[in-house]
Amino acid sequence: MSTTESPPPTAITKAPRFREQLIGFHLLWGVVLAALGYFVCHWLGTKIGNHIKGQTATDQDDIAVLLGFLGATLGWLIGLGFFNYPLSRMMGRPASLIEGEEYGVWRYFRLCTDHKVVAVQYFVAVLFFFGVGGLNAMLIRGELTSDNATFIQAGNYLTLVSLHGTMMLMMMSAGVLGPLGNYLVPLMIGARRMAFPRVESLTLWLTVLAGFMLISAIFLGGFPTGWTGYAPLSVEARAGMDAYLFSFALIGISLCLVGLNIIATVMTMRAPGLYWNRIPVFVWGMVTTSVLAVLAAPVLFAALYMAALDRTVETTFFLASNGGSPFLWYNLFWFFGHPEVYILALPGFGIVLEILPVFARKPLWGYRVAVAGMFGVALLSFMVWQHHLFVSGINANLRPFYMFTTELISIPTGIIFLIGMGTLWRARIRFTVPMLFCLAFFFNFLIGGLSGVYLSDVPSNVTTHGSYFVMAHFHYTIMGGLVFATIGGFYYWLPKITGFKLNETLGKIHFWMMFIFFNLTFFPLFAAGLLGMPRRVSSYNPSLHGLNVFVSISAWCLGLSLLVFLANIVWTQLLLREPAGPNPWLSKSLEWQLPSPVPSYNFERIPVINSAPYSYGIPDAPPVADFGTPARLPGGPAITPEGGVL
Amino acid sequence: MSASAAPGIVPEPEDSRLAAANLVVGARLFASAMAFVFMAFVFAYFYLKAVDSNGLWRPSHVTPPQGYGIAILVCILGATAAFELARRGLAAGAGSVAMLALALGLSVAAVVLQLIAYLGGMSFGADGGGYASVFYGWTAMFLAFWLGAVYSVETMLATAMRSAREAAAADEAVEALQPSADATMVYLYSCAGIAVLTWVLLYLIK
């Protein structure tokens, strides 16, 4: 690909009129063609299904539904313009990095190659789908105020739980890599763009489509398997299962491509002087997460593809009656599923370790150890998956090994925890809203981590398996950990992204509500689990009724706290719009040295990096970067990150 | 959100070699991801073979079409070799269109052969046990990835033909093609490796 003829992404010309904009490739046409694609391919699938009638295991027209989803995906991507560039390349036209004109509000509704725009698109999409997943949770807690099924039938309850789990897991995977990763990684490494701008946009629009496809499962009879999609139930389930399979596969593709893009960006596009030991720890968090995404998501994709074949052309990957095995699914799924836990956790580590030094006004303690800890977690996360099978027929001789590796992973995790504590040691802490969320992250993650040690132990795992103890554990790690860190990250970086301050008082109200009610919601569930309350069932022992009512009220208050967050965003970012200034937190990181919001080209000149951005409280510390020296002389050689000539 | 460019500010242009480096790194990462997709199939192969549920891993009537298997492998390896020769010719400043056309022809032939095998050359269906499931799932997935290779080779050929017509100097044509050629080569080598593995596990081993 040659880009010598590509102009720098700065050209601002007259914005086209509304009518001119309607004709083109954007969201409207994406929706229209997706609907068209769905119905055409569904019809085609019905014809094919009739031709081979009697071969499917489920009595559903799964071929039609899955082909319909495929048609919808193709239509969606065609309508958004994703096929234009590949087709032009097929005709031998030169490569380019920019997709059309990129200005005005229209760029938020189309394929856009500005990483900052894509990040904002991600933010809105993820927020929406979180809302859907959160509403599911509120309904679940509503049903659990009674010890027997009331307003939600047992089958529907299972669908609700499945939808909640899958939506949250899917969106949490995209939730940090998408908005914060895409926005911040190029800025933090001194780059103008991501390595593959179109791929970046593709991942966003696939995520959006996947979210809606998953919601469509409700209209296709739901799916009873939970987010784990266990076979053989998944093979026998109704057509809602197809929505699960297809949407999760899209998320898998998206996750893999996001990871690929971030790794390539960090490897090739770092500013001169940004040696590996100067890379911000947030970027390291993104890189380690991306490594997991690139290697684990393909296995998920393959497993989902096998399940789809079992449901359509009657292969028998997961059916023991005809040469397959459901344990194959368990192994493949958890080979992805456990690294997925760290896909969720590692960005949280990156965020809090990036924010702590800013508000502690101290250098990050043990930078290299923190990075090593992240890689340790990433490596070990591939070696623990069978602890999910402790009660599912795993060879008894293998149990000690997986118990050991699972307990081993608490060492690098603990090291990262200690890095945070070391940074806070004797610091003059500024208790801003982002800092409060980071501190809460450590508190919650400690509880989640310690309860995880119990679950890694075979005897206690066997006792608590399938109970609310497990449920409380993973909510402490994922919501108490990653969600708190991510929200802290949003409070920290949103003024940079939009250029407007968030309200500190509302932020603190949000924090205290969320922190208190989160703990009041999930801590009692450890007790509920130990008392034998099973997951995914709406009926439970009447003796647990009072506890469940208490938890439900706490959960609704927790939901209310997120409405405060939303209100803060709407009020300060859309109505009040008080300028934040370029560096309200007095951070040394590269992105804060730029105007807020960041100009479309990021850096007028690629900066030369002098040091890691953590020299807080060090007298006479050199500036982090030199923005005045042209690092890439026009027409001359470029300087590599190592300081040599490319 | 991003602000508009300030008036009068013209950022430095980007070094063209950056895009080339991105492509090669991206291709390597994509090949890694692809390897993990097929690792899942390798796992399925050995797992189901070891479990042999109800003795239905591979019933006696399930035999893969050996002729098609070898022909498809030869086409894939041939396409890879032809592309490598085209890439070397490009680096040496020689013409690459003929070799690219050969690579494209062979890569399309592999697709056509696989489709013919599915439509009429199989002695067993997808429901023929564990091995049959792996065979159909694996080969169909590989076909999808190989279509990506066909696209890459076709793009290279189209770019080479256009460059030969329009480029003012030979250097320009090389500059337009070389980065994509290196990245495509990484992908083709990966596909070829997986094709060999496919043949060994699905066709060679009983």
pLDDT at A632: 46
Domain definitions of chain B by residue range? 65-204
Asked, for residue A345, whether it belongs to a domain, the answer is yes
- A125 and A64 in a single domain? The answer is no
Contact A79, A31 (CB under 8 A): yes
- Tell me how many degrees the CA angle A264-A270-A272 measures, rounded to the nearest 5: 150
- A266 and A339 in a single domain? The answer is yes
Stated as kind and residue range, the H or E segment containing A537 is none
Of A10, A264, A332, the CB nearest to B10: A10
Residue of A51, A89, A627 to mutate, interface with B, max B Cβ within 10 Å: A89
Nearest alpha-carbon partner for A389 in A332, A447, A441, A331: A331
Cα separation, A276 vs A142, in Å, equals: 50
- Kindly report the nearest CA distance between residue B135 and chain A, in angstroms: 10
Does A254 reach chain B within 8 Å, measured CB to CB? no
pLDDT at A171: 84
pLDDT at A580: 92
pLDDT greater at residue B43 or residue B172: B43
Asked, for residue A6, whether it belongs to a domain, the answer is no
Please determine, for residue B32, whether its predicted confidence score (pLDDT) is greater than 90. yes
Please determine, for residue A12, whether its predicted confidence score (pLDDT) is greater than 50. no
Output the six-digit token pair for A433: 């809203």
- A378 and A310 in a single domain? The answer is yes
pLDDT single digits (tens) A359-381: 999 999 999 999 999 999 999 99
Q: Which residue of A lies nearest to B58 if distances are taken between CA atoms?
A: A323
Q: Which residue of B lies nearest to A500 if distances are taken between CA atoms?
A: B1
pLDDT at B171: 67
CB contact under 8 A, B1 and A268: no
Average of per-residue pLDDT values in chain A? 90
Domain count, chain A: 2
pLDDT at A1: 35
Cα separation, A406 vs A451, in Å, equals: 12
Provide the pLDDT confidence category of residue A96 given band limits of 50, 70 and 90: confident
Pick the CATH number of B65-204 from 1.10.238.10, 1.20.120.80, 1.20.1250.20, 1.10.1040.50: 1.20.120.80
Q: Which residue of A lies nearest to B157 if distances are taken between CA atoms?
A: A92
Using an 8 Å CB-CB cutoff, list chain A residues near B129.
316, 322-323
Please determine, for residue A9, whether its predicted confidence score (pLDDT) is greater than 70. no
Output the six-digit token pair for B62: 């399930």
Which one-letter amino acid corresponds to residue A461? N
- A60 and A124 in a single domain? The answer is no
CB contact under 8 A, A302 and B52: no
Provide the pLDDT confidence category of residue B167 given band limits of 50, 70 and 90: low
Integer CA distances (angstroms), A482 to A121, A342, A440, A525, in order: 20, 10, 11, 19
Please determine, for residue A576, whether its predicted confidence score (pLDDT) is greater than 70. yes
Asked, for residue A22, whether it belongs to a domain, the answer is no
- Kindly report the nearest CA distance between residue A439 and chain B, in angstroms: 28
Torsion of CA A622, A626, A629, A635, to 10 degrees: 130
- Kindly report the nearest CA distance between residue B36 and chain A, in angstroms: 6
| Mean pLDDT of the B117-129 span | 92
What's the gap between Cα A66 and its chain centre?
25
Q: What's A82-116 look like in SS3?
A: CCHHHHHHHCCCCCCCCCCCCCCHHHHHCCCCCHH
pLDDT at B174: 72
> Does residue A68 sit in helix, strand or coil?
helix
Asked, for residue A180, whether it belongs to a domain, the answer is yes
Q: Tokens 């926005």 label which residue?
A: A183
Please determine, for residue B5, whether its predicted confidence score (pLDDT) is greater than 80. no
Which one-letter amino acid corresponds to residue A490? F
pLDDT at B16: 75
pLDDT at A392: 84
- A244 and A367 in a single domain? The answer is yes
pLDDT single digits (tens) A75-85: 999 999 999 99
- A66 and A189 in a single domain? The answer is no
- A305 and A444 in a single domain? The answer is yes
- A55 and A158 in a single domain? The answer is no
Provide the pLDDT confidence category of residue A633 given band limits of 50, 70 and 90: very low
Q: Tokens 């460019």 label which residue?
A: B5
Q: Taking CB atoms and an 8 Å cut-off, how many pairs form between chains A and B?
A: 236
Cα separation, B153 vs B177, in Å, equals: 11
Question: Which of A90-104, A272-286, B42-56, B124-138 has the lowest average pLDDT?
Answer: A90-104
Please determine, for residue A637, whether its predicted confidence score (pLDDT) is greater than 70. no
- A66 and A156 in a single domain? The answer is no
What's the gap between Cα A612 and its chain centre?
26
pLDDT at A157: 93
Q: Which residue of B lies nearest to A598 if distances are taken between CA atoms?
A: B2
Indicate which CATH number applies to the domain containing A382.
Answer: 1.20.210.10
Q: Tokens 């085209």 label which residue?
A: B86
Please determine, for residue A427, whether its predicted confidence score (pLDDT) is greater than 90. yes
| Neighbouring residues of A195: CB distance < 8 A, sequence distance ≥ 6 | A261, A264, A265, A268, A269, B22, B25, B26
Please determine, for residue A645, whether its predicted confidence score (pLDDT) is greater than 70. no
β-bridge partners, A579: A500
CA dihedral (A608, A611, A615, A621) positive or negative: negative
- A132 and A231 in a single domain? The answer is yes
Query: By percentage, how much of chain A surpasses pLDDT 90?
Result: 79
pLDDT single digits (tens) A193-237: 999 999 999 999 999 999 999 999 999 999 999 999 999 999 989
Asked, for residue A383, whether it belongs to a domain, the answer is yes
Provide the pLDDT confidence category of residue A44 given band limits of 50, 70 and 90: very high
Cα separation, A451 vs A45, in Å, equals: 47
pLDDT single digits (tens) A587-621: 999 999 999 999 988 998 899 999 989 999 888 88
Nearest alpha-carbon partner for A484 in A518, A526, A533, A456: A518
pLDDT at A105: 81
pLDDT greater at residue B72 or residue A48: B72
Q: Whole-angstrom distance between the N-terminal and C-terminal Cα of chain A?
A: 17
Please determine, for residue A99, whether its predicted confidence score (pLDDT) is greater than 80. no
pLDDT at A641: 43
pLDDT at B206: 80
Does A398 reach chain B within 8 Å, measured CB to CB? no
Question: Which of A633-642, B3-12, B103-112 has the lowest average pLDDT?
Answer: A633-642
- A514 and A384 in a single domain? The answer is yes
Nearest alpha-carbon partner for B152 in B108, B116, B110, B194: B108
CB contact under 8 A, B2 and A632: no
> Does residue A214 sit in helix, strand or coil?
helix
| Mean pLDDT of the A306-332 span | 95
CA dihedral (B91, B97, B98, B103) positive or negative: positive
- A82 and A194 in a single domain? The answer is no
Asked, for residue A594, whether it belongs to a domain, the answer is no
Using an 8 Å CB-CB cutoff, list chain B residues near A267.
25
pLDDT single digits (tens) B86-102: 999 888 877 789 999 99
Last residue of a domain, one of A559, A576, A593: A576
Asked, for residue A23, whether it belongs to a domain, the answer is no
8-state DSSP, A618: -
Query: Helices A410-424 & A367-380, crossing angle to 10 degrees?
Result: 160
Are β-strands A608-609 and A625-626 bridged in parallel, bridged antiparallel, or unpaired?
A: antiparallel
Q: Give residues 590 to 609 of A whose Cβ lies within 8 Å of B.
A: 595, 597-601, 603-606
Domain that holds residue A183: 116-576
Query: Helices B170-198 & B130-166, crossing angle to 10 degrees?
Result: 170
Last residue of a domain, one of A72, A90, A108: A90
| Neighbouring residues of B18: CB distance < 8 A, sequence distance ≥ 6 | A3, A268, A269, A638
What's the gap between Cα A571 and its chain centre?
26
Does A627 reach chain B within 8 Å, measured CB to CB? no
Of A90, A192, A302, the CB nearest to B158: A90
Q: What are phi and psi of A601, to 5 degrees?
A: -90, 0
Asked, for residue A325, whether it belongs to a domain, the answer is yes
Please determine, for residue B74, whether its predicted confidence score (pLDDT) is greater than 50. yes
Output the six-digit token pair for B1: 């959100």
Residue of A83, A202, A203, A268 to mutate, interface with B, max B Cβ within 10 Å: A268
